[in-house]
Amino acid sequence: MDLGIFEWTFIITNIFGTYIIYKFMMVFFRRDNVNKTIEGITYALYCLIIAFLFLYLKIPIVMLGANLLMLFGLTFNYQSNMLKRILSIVFISIIFLCIEMIIVVITGAVDITIIQESRFQSVYGLILIKVVSYMVALLMNNFKSVRQGRKIPGYYWFCIFFIPTISLYLLLLIFSGNFDDMHLIWSMLGVLFINFSVFYLYDSLSKVFAENADKRVIQAQNRYYKKQMSVMQSSLKSTRALKHDMNNHLMAITSLATKYNTDGIIEYLSEITNVQDSYGEFISTGIAALDSVVNFKMQEAMRSGAVISTDILVPDQMQISAFDLTTILGNLLDNAIDGTKTLVEDRKIGIQIHCSKGQLFIHVKNTFDGSLVVQEGNLITTNKDEANHGFGIENIKRSVEKYKGIFDYEVEGREFVASVILYIPSL
């Protein structure tokens, strides 16, 4: 087929349009663990298929359907849940439809139909559509909370999802109706404004839930510090009592030694040691956040009947914020404790923390019943209170990313092992 200036303009602007689609995707998704080769190939295929459909069909309803399917396919380049994938393509499609139809009416003044070949032939209109779309994509990229992937409870999702979906249906009705140009433009602007408002509310909700999650971490951190202070005070009191009675203890040990009563000496020394250990101080590294979280959580684990083992060797100072350390350790230990509670017996938790050559290694393992709920590679909470639970893994990942680190987990039989590697500057 012979290609005119309009067709060549579309082919060229379609390449730019594919990049605009990528920018819109970045509004909703993060590029964590993205296979860049596959990502590039999928966007290239999108560009080619859209160009082919435009050159050989030019039927709006076919273009819309193909766009929705291919946009949905592009979302699988990024880690997310199904609701967010669907919502993102509905938002993107509505924005493109509104922009295109407003500019088509302004520049082309053509009759609108969704089942017949488009008669729009404005070169300037094609360029203007892409320029305006790019500006909108840049504007929406300023909203960062949506991209962070903050989990939103289902009943909020319904409200957020309902309006864009109905808007898409209304757009199809408007396209198939007979409206004059001004009514059509105002209708498109109205739909666009409504969906921008919903998007703004979606971003605001994501931000609120992120802030609430941070507040919960701070509140938990304060509880840990309070408990750690109590442990330290009790330990100090115990030490002072031992110091006060040291002469008496030494006389008792001397008396046992003169009688060659080694068993009695061992038993007596054991009692002194138990006095020191009876206040729940599992570790004492000198790092307040680390000590407080581990001591607090391990006491909770012991009350539930878990057997604890620790292997912690770190310097007394590390370049990691107390907030992030509390977030990572608190959530890892919470998940470990919850995992052991699925068992009636054989409850075990092991903590291993080492620091070497600017790397902090954290391994937390626990026994559990062997049952996991995983969706698209992400662990899903089994707690019925979804509004206040299910944020743990997300919070861990968010803190780990600050240090360009790695979070991973594996299952070995009935043992769950969570591993974190953080890259921290050397002191």
> What phi and psi, each to the nearest 5 degrees, are found at residue 284?
-150, 85
How many whole angstroms from its chain centre is CA 303? 31
Q: What's 398's domain CATH number?
A: 3.30.565.10
Domain-embedded: residue 337: yes
**290 and 197, same structural domain?**
no
Residue 267 neighbours by CB distance under 10 Å: 11
Task: Please check whether residue 228 lies inside any domain of the structure.
Answer: no
Domain end, chosen from 213, 235, 252, is at 213
- Res 270: pLDDT: 66
Is the predicted pLDDT of residue 20 greater than 70, yes or no?
Answer: yes
Any domain includes 379: yes
Q: Are 361 and 312 in contact (CB under 8 A)?
A: no
Residue 417 clears pLDDT 80, i.e. is over it: yes
Whether residue 191 is contained in a domain is answered as yes
Average pLDDT of every residue of the chain: 77
**In-domain check, residue 378:** yes
Please spell the DSSP secondary structure of 164-195, one letter per residue. HHHHHHHHHHHHHS---HHHHHHHHHHHHHHH
214 compared with 404, residue with greater pLDDT: 404
Q: Which residue has the higher pLDDT, 75 or 378?
A: 75
> Residues 18, 128: one domain?
yes
The CA distance from 190 to 174, in Å, is 12
Domain around 40? 5-213
Can you give the pLDDT at residue 254?
A: 63
Return the closest-CA partner of residue 399 out of 217, 265, 226, 162.
Answer: 217
Domain match, 179 and 58 both = yes
Last residue of a domain, one of 163, 193, 213: 213
As a whole number of angstroms, the distance between CA 273 and CA 287 comes to 23
* 66 and 206 co-located in one domain: yes
Domain boundary among 213, 236, 260: 213
pLDDT, residue 74, reads 94
At residue 269 the predicted structure's pLDDT band, cuts being 50, 70 and 90, is low
Greater pLDDT, 34 or 218: 34
- Please list, residue by residue across 124-161, b when 16 or more beta carbons sit within 10 angstroms of its beta carbon and e when fewer do: ebbbbbbebbbebbeebeebebbbebbbbeeeebeebb
Q: How far apart are CA 19 and CA 12, in angstroms?
A: 12
Number of structural domains (the chain) is 2
Higher pLDDT, 167 or 135: 135
Phi, psi of 406 (to 5 degrees): -130, 135
Instruction: Evaluate whether residue 315 is within a structural domain.
Output: yes
36 plus 141 within the same structural domain: yes
- State the CB neighbour count (10 A cutoff) for residue 70: 19
The answer as to whether 187 is a domain residue is yes
CA–CA separation, 418 vs 198, rounded Å?
37
Residue 299 lies in a domain: yes
